[in-house]
Structure 1
Amino acid sequence: MSEDDGKRAGGLRRLLTDQSIDTRPLSLPAFRRLFIGQGTSFIGSMLTQVAVPVQVFDLSHSSLDVGMVGLAGLVPLIVFGLYGGAVADAVDRRTLYLWSSLGTWAVTLALLAQTLLGVGHIGLILALVAAQSAGFAIASSARGAIIPRLVEPGLIPAANTLNYVVGTIGEVLGPLVAGVLVTLPHGFAYAYGADAVLFTAALYSTLRLPSIPPDGVITRIGLRSVGDGLKFIAGRPVLVMSFLVDLCAMVMAMPRSLFPAVALERFHGSVGLLYAAIPIGSVVAGFGSAWIGRVRRQGAVLAGAVIAWGAAVAVSGVAPQLWLVVVFLAVAGAADLISAVLRQTLLQTYAPDAMRGRLQGVYTVVVAGGPRLGDLRAGAMAVAFSASMSWTLGGVACVVAVAIGAPLARSFWRYDAAKATGGDVLREQPGENTAATGSVQEPTAP
């Protein structure tokens, strides 16, 4: 090989290294355990998330009833997301995460039991969805507040990307497996049972986490504490706009509740690929995501990613063939990864540790509640018009709303992450500024 060839090869390797996913947080044992447990449990949880709406549609043959699955989980998500975030700022976050995860696991067992017993009652399924949503809201608030205590500030974008990628891998595998299982005799029971087994990995990883007590700032659990968190957000337009942009994306353009009807009407029941398409795009984008950690204009890039999401969803709604629908939904998934990582990173670096639990509670309400409202919106529009029309118009509405609204919020549009966090926080190397965030340190262990 000539010297020039060697230089070109070395340059290509450096380019690939610079752009590929940043895995440095995995060198931290506590984060690695959380990562592995979350990844395994996500596969199981997606089995349930697919099985529940398909089972409801199988019982009722109504997209509106499928949309009610999202509504059933919304109220407990709001209440327990906000209150759980306040609790996460006042107690050991590892303990809170463990007990809330146990509650979620118990609900999965109850879903399995109602299927095995052949109850076939939509009201019972919706009640179990509501209980599961409450447990998820508390666990998610605690988990999001834990991450900045396990990694250094400069690694927060990389940690969020890794978590999002492993979650979306679960969202790919789960729907593909669920799409096969729900077509089998007793398939819903297989899906719920597999979820219950896989979720034990999350419970084990949580048990192995170090204690993560409050950082010394006394926070009383109650409505005043919740109110303090909401006032913190309300006084910071950058945070408000980041939440509003995500709500536009999920409420207006989430087509998830339409998948069973569209699959039956247009694609001979191939629902698994539809549920898997968005996560596939997120996974692919995640493996080339190192650049996200170097983004300074986080608000503008976040808004651009949401606009791309809405446009891709709109086009997928009118695509004539299944493979084209999957491709455009995958593009939407890639845009969703970018927006999710930037939104979570902005939130975690913007708030002091004593406020992170409450802000993660609001984040959980918005990020998980938005799609549920989107399910209801899409199902209701499908009744009034058609499933395909509901799908496409939602994407168009998202594009218009964000393209007009985001630039008008000047502090959000011009937000510079490097200046806001002290200049070089996004470029720090492992080990720097650990004391500033109260990171949990522990000896290296398997």
Structure 2
Amino acid sequence: MRALLPDLTPWRTSRDFRLLWLAGLVTVFGSFLTFVAVPLQLKELTGSALAVGAVGAAELAPLIVCGLYGGALADALDRRRLILWTEAGLGVLTCVLFLNTLLPHPLVWPLYAVAALVSALTGLQRPALQAMVPRIVPHEQLPAATTLNHMRWQVGAIAGPSLAGVIITLAGVRPAYVLDTATYVLSAALTLGLAPSPAAPGAERPSLRGVLEGARYAWSRKELLGTYAVDLAAMFFAYPTAVFPFLADDLGAPWALGPMYAAGAVGSLVVSLTGGWASRVHRHGRMVVGSALGWGLAMALAGWVHDVRLVLLFLAAAGGCDMVSGLFRSTMWDQSIPDGLRGRLAGIELLSYSVGPQLGQVRVGATAALTTARTSVWAGGLACLASVGLLAVALPKLLSYDQRTDEHAVRVREQRAAEATAVAEAA
């Protein structure tokens, strides 16, 4: 059992990791309240699955532009300050959603406008968050830190949608927006306690040239490209959350809306709580491909069955597969990317695991509008299986990656060891 339980060493040894973890937990919890409230409010205002899925289209362009630029900012500015200011901006935007609910007839366009602006701020913030972790956690503890960070997300993803379902059913979307705004205030207060995380000496100002340098590095690493491509395909074809309100109605189980949003996180949490085995796996690319195939199969089954309990079970299984994929993608990135490029690569990574879901919402909403919610889910799962299988064949370096011998992972490991030795000698 000790070998299966998650390793808590990063939590015990790093004060900054604890603060960052707690701030992230609070933010994730609140964000999932809004994550459920916005599509449900759009459904009530428009009655259209296509209108709900169009939220993903509104979020796409800001995420692409700001995700890439946010990566350059993370390499050129103090990462703590960047996280703090974007957190404050996200809180203000959630407050705008609350103010819209106070109108006699709430408007539709602010939901899309706020979704686009939230996507922009998320694109600016996420690279700094991800690039900060390798600075505050020793290299050998990065797999454990990644597992704990995923666990944080899962706890919020379970509690947030579950509470949102209860709150919205009893009192509407307004209290969900109020609570989300409050969580941003608390998260910003925790972020203030972090030590400064300034740019590396000699860091260049944010520029298009710097962004292109990161893109060229990513292109040179075919195993990294493989992780991006596999996740993008899996999310585009098999990310069904936009049609959950319609799926619950089709199954005659409106009570299941909150559990549908939370089911994937339940499966992910099970993997996290038994994730001690992850540090003993070295061929991370194979795990990424295998878990993406599992995600597609589980989604196909979730759309095919008629029993809502089986739907929830398969959604949970999909969440477990997604957790395995995310864990080994993040470990590959953290252990093999140099610190000077980490922010820009984190921006590219953000696009790979965020653009897919945004496009996936559009895909699943449009398919549901043409067919049914259930058809849009199972057809997407089958398309995911086919696309991931083709990518695995086309990208052999992803399957052959081994962190023990990969030249990039070895170089970063040696650099971190040299830095730790220098710090110890100076002390």
> Is 1:146 aligned to residue 170 of structure 2?
no
Amino acid of the structure 2 residue aligned with 1:408 = A
1:21 aligns with 2:6: yes
- The structure-2 alpha-carbon separation of the partners of 1:295 and 1:250, relative to structure 1 and needing over 3 Å to count, comes to same
Change (3 A) 1:322 1:210: same
Deviations for 1:70-118, whole angstroms, at most 9, x for unmatched residues? 1111111111110011011001111111111111111011111111234
In the other structure, the counterpart of 2:70 is 84
What is aligned with 2:203? Answer: 218
| Aligned counterparts, 1:93-108, within 5 A | 93-108=79-94
User: Contact (CA 8 Å) 1:152, 1:433: kept in 2 or not?
Assistant: no
User: Which of 29, 33, 42 is equivalent to 1:56?
Assistant: 42
Q: Secondary structure of the equivalent of 1:227? A: helix
Contact 1:293 1:426 in 2 (8 A): no
Q: TM-score, normalised by structure 2?
A: 0.95
Counterparts in 2 of 1:161 and 1:85: CA distance versus 1, 3 Å: same
Q: More displaced, 81-90 or 381-390?
A: 381-390
Q: Distance in 1 between matches of 2:418 and 2:320?
A: 31
Q: 1:362 to 1:391 in 2, by over 3 A?
A: same
Q: Kindly indicate whether residue 374 of structure 2 is the aligned counterpart of residue 388 of structure 1.
A: yes
Determine the structure 1 residue equivalent to 2:419.
Answer: 435
Question: Residue type matched to 2:352 in 1?
Answer: V
Find the aligned partners of 1:99 and 1:232 in 2 and give their Cα distance: 29
Q: Measured at CA, do residues 224 and 438 of structure 1 come closer, stay the same or move farther in structure 2, by a change above 3 Å?
A: farther
Report the Cα distance in structure 1 between the residues aligned to 2:375 and 2:385, rounded to whole angstroms: 16
For 1:360-371, what aligned pairs fall within 5 Å after superposition? 360-371=346-357
Deviations 1:388-425 (A, max 9, x none): 11100101111111123213311111001111268889
* Residue of structure 1 equivalent to 2:223: 238
Instruction: Tell me by how many angstroms 1:119 deviates.
Output: 4.5
What amino acid sits opposite 1:218 in the alignment? Answer: A
8 Å CA contact retained: 2:97, 2:110 = no
1:380–1:436: structure 2 CA closer, same or farther, 3 Å change rule?
farther
What is the DSSP-based 3-state SS (H/G/I as helix, E as strand, rest coil) of the residue aligned with 2:76?
A: coil
Q: Please list every run of at least 4 consecutive aligned residues from structure 1 whose deviation after the TM superposition is greater than 4 angstroms.
A: 421-428, 436-439
Matched, 1:155 2:141: yes
Is 1:325 the equivalent of 2:311? yes
How far does residue 434 in structure 1 lie from its aligned partner after superposition?
7.3
Asked if 2 retains the 8 angstrom alpha-carbon contact of 1:20 and 1:288, the reply is yes
- Length, aligned pairs only: 421
Counterparts of 1:437 and 1:58, CA distance in 2: 60
**Counterpart of 1:72?**
58
Q: Does 1:188 align with 2:151?
A: no
Q: Residue type matched to 1:251 in 2?
A: F
In the alignment, structure 1 segments of 5+ residues that lack a partner are 1-15, 440-446
Report deviation, 1:293: 2.1
Q: Is the 8 A contact 2:337 2:412 kept in 1?
A: no
The separation in 1 between residues aligned to 2:29 and 2:302, in whole angstroms, is 25
Taking the aligned partners of 1:383 and 1:437, their CA distance within structure 2 comes to 60
1:198-219 CA deviation, whole Å, 9 max, x = no partner? 2223212211111111222422
Q: Could you tell me whether the CA contact under 8 Å between 1:242 and 1:343 is conserved in 2?
A: yes
Q: Deviations over 1:287-338 (max 9, x none)?
A: 0011112211111111000000110111011122111111111111111111
Find the residue that maps to 1:183 and give its secondary structure.
helix
Q: Aligned AA for 1:296?
A: H
Q: Deviations along 1:357-392, whole A, 9 cap, x unmatched?
A: 011111112212210100000011111221111100
Q: Does 2:99 match 1:113?
A: yes
Residue aligning to 2:406: 420
In 1, Cα distance between equivalents of 2:83 and 2:271: 29
The C-alpha deviation readout for 1:11-58, integer Å capped at 9, x for no partner, is xxxxx1111111111011110111111112211110001100110111
Match of 1:293 in 2: 279
- The change in CA–CA distance for 1:201 and 1:434 in structure 2 (over 3 A counts) is farther
Q: Is the 8 A contact 1:277 1:333 kept in 2?
A: yes
> Which residue of 249, 265, 268 maps to 1:264?
249
Separation in 2, partners of 1:340, 1:249: 12
Whichever structure has more helix as a proportion of its residues is 2
Instruction: Provide Cα deviations, 1:155-188, integer angstroms capped at 9, x if missing partner.
Output: 1111111111111110111111111112234x21
The aligned amino acid for 2:287 is V
Question: SS of the counterpart of 1:182?
Answer: helix
Q: Secondary structure at the match of 1:212?
A: coil
In structure 2, C-alpha distance between the alignment counterparts of 1:437 and 1:50, rounded to whole Å:
48
- Give 2:20's aligned residue: 34
Distance of 2:320 and 2:374 partners within structure 1: 22
The 3-state SS of whatever aligns with 1:199 is helix
- Cross-structure match for 1:411: 397
Distance 2:119 2:408 in 1: 37
Quote the residue 1:251 is aligned against: 236
CA contact 1:153–1:425 (8 Å) conserved in 2: no
Per the alignment, residue 10 of structure 1 pairs with none
Q: 1:438 to 1:51 in 2, by over 3 A?
A: farther
1:353 has 2:339 as partner: yes
1:92/1:61 CA distance change after superposition, 3 Å: same
Aligned mate of 1:175, from 142, 161, 182: 161
In 2, Cα distance between the equivalents of 1:421 and 1:191? 48
Letter in 1 for 2:363: R
Is 2:229–2:391's contact at 8 Å kept on the other side of the alignment? no
Change (3 A) 1:172 1:437: farther
**Contact 1:41–1:198 (CA<8 Å) still a contact in 2?**
yes
For normalisation by structure 1, the TM-score amounts to 0.91
Counterpart in the other structure of 1:283: 269
Give the 3 Å change call, closer, same or farther, for CA 48–437 of structure 1 in structure 2: farther
CA RMSD of aligned residues (A): 2.1
